[in-house]
Structures are given as structure tokens and as C-alpha cells.
Structure 1
Amino acid sequence: MSAPSRILVYGVYGAGKSTLAAVLADRLRLPWHPVDDLLWQPGWVEVPVAEQRSRIIAVCRGDRWILDGAYHGWRDVPLDRADLVVALDYPRWRSFGRLLRRTLRRLVTGEEICNGNRESLGSVLSRDSVLLWHISAFGRARRRMRAWQADPSGPPVVLFRSPTELSRWLAALPRR
């Protein structure tokens, strides 16, 4: 397989999308555009969906990019331009466990997530908690990844069900 130039990394919250996007960006020397940076303003103010879409269109017009997610108001944009979708279809226990550990670490350390935003106990315990998003979005994300993989009209999808499978694929991926 030749090295792709436009990659969408997809998976449920906590699967490791951003971590993988950073690895791919380094390995393939591609610009990575963290989706959270494009969607959230300081104070956890969400960028309006029309502006999100404009930002994603601007990224995807380029010939070289990596995005670490795709959401309802603009998911079609990277799918129409991607050379490859890398889908992390890990079991719920694995992705939720990773998400829980990451969330707890961020609460303790005060680590910045994007644009000055940080996790807070209030956000974790709210109805908009990333932990609740995981629970409600898991099945839909899984069905979406599998449908993309089965659709011959879309970009190629490599779907990984374990970190071991992903590690093997990364080891065989050509470097730039």
C-alpha cells in the first residue's frame, strides 16, 4: 500500500484517535488538524456548525492532511476527500476504560485539551459529560465504521479491533 496523503482517523470517544493521528502525522510527515481545536473556542463554546463545516472544508481542500474525527454537520466533507479512513473499532470496555483514565488524569493534572479548555469535575458530572457521550455514541460509531468499510463507493477503510492489529499495520506502513 502506498502512503496515503489525506487520512480520516475515526472511532468512539477514548479509542485513541488523537494519539494515532499524531503518530501518523509524524510517520507520514502530514499536517494533523486536531478536530477539537477546530470545534471549540475558549470556555467550551462550540463553534457554530456552519463555521465548523467551513473550517473542515478549508482543511480538506488541501492535498495533505489528517483529521482525528468527523461529526454530523460535516462528516461528508472528509469522507469525500480522504484517501484512507483508519477506524478504531475497539470493544466498549477498552475505549471506555481509556476514556475514564484519560478524563481522571486530566482532572488531576489540569491538562489543556484545546484552546485553553480543560476538564472539570462539573463537566464530567454534567449531562454533556464525555463519559455519557461515549455510552450513547458507541453503537452508532461502530455501525458507521462498519458501514463505511462495506461501502465500495467510499474511501478505503482499515478497521482495527485491537491495538495489536493497529501496531502491526503501523509497522508495515511505509515512511515518508
Structure 2
Amino acid sequence: MSAPTRILVYGVYGAGKSTLAARLAERLRLPWYPVDDLLWRPGWVEVPVAQQRSRIEEICRRDRWILDGAYHGWRDLPLGRADLVVGLDYPRWRSFGRLLRRTLRRLATGEEICNGNRESLGSVLSRDSILVWHVAAFGRARRRMRAWQADPSGPPVLLFRSPAALEDWLAALP
């Protein structure tokens, strides 16, 4: 396979999508569009889905891009244009552990996530906590990735079940 130029990185919260997207962007010299920056306004105000879709559609019309997620209101757009889907299909314990460590680090440091937004103790302890989202979304994300991989009409899907397997693939990239 020649080097892909339109890549969707997919996985559950905490799997490492953004970290991988940044690495791929540097390695393959492709523009990376962090999905959180496109979906959230300051104060954790969600961009309306129609506007999200318009933003993603504009990106997906381009010949070169990396997206680090795909959500319900516009998932079809990157899937319809991607040269490759890279799925981080790690065990729940691994992705949840990464998410928990990242969340605690962000709480301690006040690290900005996107558009001035930060995690707070209140958000982490709420019903809308990213930790709760992980638990609720894990099985769906896993089934979705595996269905995409089994669908011959869609883009090629590489599923990585361990960071070591991902590192081997990255090392072999041009």
C-alpha cells in the first residue's frame, strides 16, 4: 500500500487517538485536524451538529488530512473519503487506565484541552464525565471498528490490539 493521505484514527476515549494522529501527521507530513477543536467552543459548549458536519465535510473534501475521531452526526464523511482507518482496539483496562492517568494529569496541571476548555473536578465527577463516557462507549466503538474492518465496501481498516503492534506498524511506515 502506498502511504495514505486521508486517515481516520478511531478508538474509544483514552485509547491514544490524538497522540497517534499527531505522530502520523509528523511522520507522513499530513495536516491533522483535532476533532475536539472542531466540536467544542469555549465553556464546553458543543458546536451544533449541522455545523460540525459542515466543518468535517470541508476537511474531507481535501486530498490530505488526518482526523482523530468520528462521531454520529458526520461519521459517514471521513469513512466515505478515507484511504485508511487506523483503529485502536485496545483492551478496556488499557484505554481506561490511559484515560484515568490523562484526566488526573489534566486536573493537576490545568492543561488546556481545546479552545480554552479544561477538565475540572466537577466535570470528572459528573454524569457527563469522560470516564463515564468511556464505560458507556467502549463496546460500541469496538463493534463499530470491527464491523468497518469486515466491510469490503469501506476503506481499509487496520486494527491494533496492543501498543507494541502499533509501534511495529509505525516503524515500517515510509
TM-score, normalised to structure 2, is 1.00
SS at match of 2:113: strand
Distance 1:63 1:127 in 2: 39
Distance 1:25 1:121 in 2: 32
SS at match of 2:147: helix
In structure 2, the residue matched to 1:120 is 120
In structure 2, the residue matched to 1:43 is 43
Distance 2:90 2:57 in 1: 29
Distance 2:98 2:124 in 1: 15
Distance 1:3 1:171 in 2: 13
SS at match of 1:118: coil
In structure 2, the residue matched to 1:145 is 145
Distance 1:121 1:80 in 2: 38
Amino acid at match of 2:70: A
Distance 2:21 2:158 in 1: 14
Q: For this pair of structures, how many residues does the alignment match?
A: 174
Superimposed CA distance per residue, residues 1-40 of structure 1 (whole angstroms, 9 cap, x where no aligned partner): 2100000000000000000000000000000000000000
Distance 1:122 1:65 in 2: 35
Aligned-residue offset at 1:112 = 0.2
Which segments of structure 1 move beyond 6 Å, counting only runs of 4 or more? Answer: none
Amino acid at match of 2:60: C
SS at match of 1:152: coil
In structure 2, the residue matched to 1:156 is 156
In structure 2, the residue matched to 1:66 is 66
Superimposed CA distance per residue, residues 30-59 of structure 1 (whole angstroms, 9 cap, x where no aligned partner): 000000000000000000000000000011
In structure 2, the residue matched to 1:20 is 20
Distance 1:51 1:62 in 2: 18
Aligned-residue offset at 1:76 = 0.3
In structure 1, the residue matched to 2:96 is 96
Distance 1:126 1:59 in 2: 33
Distance 1:173 1:37 in 2: 27
Distance 1:109 1:170 in 2: 30
Superimposed CA distance per residue, residues 124-167 of structure 1 (whole angstroms, 9 cap, x where no aligned partner): 01111000000000000000000000000000000000000000
In structure 2, the residue matched to 1:130 is 130
Distance 2:52 2:128 in 1: 19
Distance 1:84 1:160 in 2: 13
Task: Give the superposed CA RMSD.
Answer: 0.3
List runs of 5+ in structure 2 lacking aligned partners: none
Amino acid at match of 1:165: A
List runs of 5+ in structure 1 lacking aligned partners: none
